[in-house]
């Protein structure tokens, strides 16, 4: 399942940490019946839950076979219910559960519960059955269909980090369309204004934005003192110029857009290709996005920079215009899904803006203990994309 395939070095930037900090202040009601451990996954519990969800109209669960999953960021397991003979046809034969502590699963539960209310179900999300969160203990669980028998990751973690992170053509197209469909569905959606998913803290107001800029400037200063001597001068100048100009971006590009809730959507916000699940048989199943614990409201291009610029080299992006073709497929899918008043030039501008913001990722990585083998290739990929898209012209 997807949580075993996710990159283990989570890119928990200050943006995400501050999302968490702000939500600690918000009143988040506890959700009942949280499963604190796999010991609590009993036939009785599963019978009751499936009945409540309308999945098990009659009969009951006699036994549950539990097979653990080596997910790094949760207690996770594949479940195989054994039903009584009078259970109806079509009951789920395989389920997947993940249990998280320390409040790390709260936002994912909130997102999926919001998504469950949408009709018809969103096809780019793994069918979700139940989620619960306990504010007192910080424990949560998510229960959904187990699609490991019908889907696979388009790129492995090892391949991604080794520089071989380009999916097969058909699978790449499916990932792009799934992401665009997610963004299109939630584009300026009314449920987002007062819902559980939030705008990242640095972009909620000018004060928060400027605080983030100061933090990044200090982070870059420390990076320069410890690692800049190893980098070419032109790369240092790119980052110096970026830091100098960051304060101006709020008024010029973000302030009014955030205030008007204009052209914003739900972003995955940790959107590497390892977060997708592609069908073994595309004629039967579609592509899924997984692991929504970092979901936020922001510019959709946030996710595009993760998938196309963070680990793709210049050669990989430019081969047969791969990056440009992916962006055009993404844009065409947005339009076909009903997004209006958002031009191709708007998308390109957003992509460049997010490149300016996300080029800082490897600096954060280095300052938080990542090895040079991890942050240097990422820095090169992002810096090359930054130059190719002439992001400095926006500063």
Give the whole-angstrom CA distance, residue 3 versus residue 74. 8
Same domain, 134 and 241: no
- More confident position, 376 or 6: 376
Give the whole-angstrom CA distance, residue 132 versus residue 285. 27
How confident is the model over 76-118, as pLDDT tens digits? 999 999 999 999 999 999 999 999 998 888 889 999 999 999 9
pLDDT at residue 157, as a whole number: 87
- Exposure string over 113-148, b if 16+ CB within 10 A, otherwise e: bbbbeeeeebebbbebbbbbbbeeeebbbbbbbbbb
Same domain, 17 and 162: no
Cis peptide before 120 (omega within 30 of 0): yes
81 CB-near residues (< 8 Å, 6+ apart): 43, 46, 61, 63, 64, 65, 91, 92, 93, 95
Same domain, 191 and 318: yes
Same domain, 241 and 307: yes
Domain end point (choices 82, 114, 149): 149
CATH code of the domain covering residue 238: 3.90.1200.10
Same domain, 104 and 242: no
pLDDT at residue 70, as a whole number: 77
How confident is the model over 351-364, as pLDDT tens digits? 999 999 999 999 99
How confident is the model over 167-218, as pLDDT tens digits? 999 999 999 999 999 999 999 999 998 888 999 989 999 999 999 999 999 9
Same domain, 116 and 188: no
Mean per-residue pLDDT for 301-309?
97
Same domain, 54 and 86: yes
The residues pairing with 278 across neighbouring beta strands, listed in sequence order, are 152
Furthest-apart CA pair in the chain: how many Å?
A: 72
Which residues constitute the domain of residue 332?
A: 157-394
How confident is the model over 124-134, as pLDDT tens digits? 999 999 999 99
Domain end point (choices 149, 178, 208): 149
pLDDT at residue 33, as a whole number: 83
pLDDT at residue 104, as a whole number: 86
Contact 171, 282 (CB under 8 A): no
pLDDT at residue 2, as a whole number: 40
Same domain, 143 and 163: no
* pTM reported for the whole predicted model: 0.89
Contact 253, 262 (CB under 8 A): no
pLDDT at residue 72, as a whole number: 66
Give backbone dihedrals phi and psi of 64, rounded to 5 degrees, phi first: -130, 115
128-134 and 139-145 strand pairing = antiparallel
For the chain, percent of residues with pLDDT exceeding 70: 92
At 146, is the secondary structure helix, strand, or coil?
coil
Give the whole-angstrom CA distance, residue 40 versus residue 12. 30
pLDDT at residue 229, as a whole number: 83
Same domain, 121 and 249: no
**What interhelical angle do 344-358 and 372-388 show, nearest 10?**
150
Contact 203, 302 (CB under 8 A): no
Same domain, 145 and 162: no
How confident is the model over 7-62, as pLDDT tens digits? 333 334 443 443 334 333 333 344 458 989 999 999 999 999 999 999 999 999 99
How does the average pLDDT of the chain come out, rounded?
A: 90
Q: How many CB atoms lie within 10 A of CB 186?
A: 23
How confident is the model over 276-301, as pLDDT tens digits? 999 999 999 999 999 998 999 999 99
Give the whole-angstrom CA distance, residue 360 versus residue 311. 14
Same domain, 137 and 165: no
Same domain, 263 and 377: yes
Give the whole-angstrom CA distance, residue 350 versus residue 2. 28
Domain end point (choices 120, 149, 178): 149
The band of 144, judged by pLDDT with boundaries at 50, 70 and 90, is very high
Q: How many domains does the chain have?
A: 2
């Amino acid at each position: 399942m997807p949580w075993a395939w996710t990159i283990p070095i989570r890119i928990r930037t200050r943006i995400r940490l501050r999302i968490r900090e702000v939500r600690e202040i918000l009143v988040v009601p506890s959700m009942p019946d949280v499963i604190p451990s796999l010991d609590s996954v009993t036939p009785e519990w599963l019978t009751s839950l499936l009945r409540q969800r309308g999945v098990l109209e009659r009969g009951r669960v006699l036994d549950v076979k539990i097979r653990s999953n080596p997910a790094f960021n949760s207690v996770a397991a594949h479940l195989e219910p054994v039903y009584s003979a009078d259970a109806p046809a079509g009951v789920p034969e395989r389920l997947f559960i993940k249990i998280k502590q320390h409040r790390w699963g709260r936002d994912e539960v909130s997102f999926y519960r919001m998504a469950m209310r949408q009709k018809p179900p969103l096809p780019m999300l793994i069918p979700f059955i139940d989620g619960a969160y306990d504010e007192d203990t910080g424990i949560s669980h998510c229960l959904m269909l187990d699609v490991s028998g019908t889907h696979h990751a388009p790129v492995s973690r090892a391949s991604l980090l080794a520089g071989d992170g380009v999916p097969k053509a058909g699978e790449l197209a499916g990932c792009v369309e799934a992401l665009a469909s997610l963004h299109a569905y939630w584009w300026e959606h009314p449920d987002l204004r007062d819902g559980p998913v939030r705008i990242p803290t640095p972009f909620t107001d000018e004060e928060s934005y400027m605080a983030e800029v100061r933090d990044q400037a200090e982070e870059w200063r420390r990076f320069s003192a410890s690692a800049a001597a190893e980098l070419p001068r032109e790369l240092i100048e790119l980052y110096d110029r970026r830091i100098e100009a960051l304060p101006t971006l709020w008024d010029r590009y973000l302030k009014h857009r955030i205030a008007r809730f204009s052209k914003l959507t739900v972003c995955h916000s940790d959107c590497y290709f390892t977060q997708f699940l592609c069908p073994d048989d595309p004629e039967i199943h579609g592509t899924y996005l997984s692991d929504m614990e970092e979901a936020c409201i922001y510019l959709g291009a946030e996710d595009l920079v993760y998938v196309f610029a963070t680990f793709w080299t210049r050669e990989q992006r430019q081969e047969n215009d791969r990056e440009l073709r992916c962006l055009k497929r993404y844009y065409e899918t947005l339009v076909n899904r009903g997004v209006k008043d958002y031009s191709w030039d708007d998308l390109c501008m957003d992509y460049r803006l997010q490149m300016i913001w996300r080029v800082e990722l490897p600096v954060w990585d280095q300052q938080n203990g990542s090895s040079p083998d991890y942050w240097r290739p990422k820095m090169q990929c992002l810096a090359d994309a930054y130059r190719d898209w002439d992001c400095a012209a926006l500063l």
